[in-house]
Amino acid sequence: MSALLVQSLPHAQIFMKTSDLMATLDDIADAVVRLDGQGKCVTLNQAAVDIFRRLGCDPGRTIGKSVWELFPDLKGTVAEQQLRRALDDQRPIQHELYSPVDQRWYDTQGFPSSPGVVLIFRDITEWKTGPSSEPNHTRTPAEPL
């Protein structure tokens, strides 16, 4: 549906389309997290809920809390620098990070969503640890999650 068509829909239909979008996000295997301009969690899809649980966070208590509160170990890492860049400069980001808590690698992408950012996490553990002929496959771990 084009943006012009969405703008012409009555408010109730736009709301229904938003709920359709959330249902679609829940069907995506990648974790999707939307943060407001202060880095507070606004929305999580089901894959993000699963990751937060694995990392020891209660997903029911994440909404309204900043990622710095939820994951204090991010402070001082490349992941923090990248996330602050996305939030402050409204610039897209991408980096890999290793989480020692669940022993998984994640490809992390962030996209400006004024105000705030939408983060997408893809588990790339098998790609990072499995056999590969790619020369850059055996990179050293990035900053922990």
pLDDT of residue 73: 87
Residue 116's pLDDT band (cuts 50, 70, 90): very high
Question: How many Cβ atoms are within 10 Å of 18's Cβ, its own excluded?
Answer: 10
pLDDT of residue 94: 95
- pLDDT over threshold 90, residue 90: yes
pLDDT of residue 107: 95
Q: What are the pLDDT digits (tens) for 133-143?
A: 454 444 444 44
| Paired residues of 117 in beta bridges | 35, 112
Could you state, in order of their start, the residue ranges of all structural domains in the chain? 9-129
* Cβ-proximal residues to 27 (8 Å cutoff; 6+ apart), any chain: none
Residue 130's pLDDT band (cuts 50, 70, 90): confident
Burial pattern 96-124, b for ≥16 Cβ within 10 A else e, equals: bbbbeeeebbbbbbbbebeebbbbbbbbe
pLDDT of residue 59: 87
Compute the mean pLDDT over every residue in the chain, rounded to the nearest whole number.
80
* Cβ-proximal residues to 139 (8 Å cutoff; 6+ apart), any chain: 96, 128
Question: How many Cβ atoms are within 10 Å of 79's Cβ, its own excluded?
Answer: 25
Rounded to two decimals, the pTM is 0.74
pLDDT of residue 143: 43
CATH 3.40.718.10 fits 9-129, yes or no: no
CB 78 within 8 A of CB 142: yes
* Cβ-proximal residues to 106 (8 Å cutoff; 6+ apart), any chain: 96, 97, 98, 99, 121, 122, 123, 124, 145
pLDDT average, residue stretch 3-31: 58
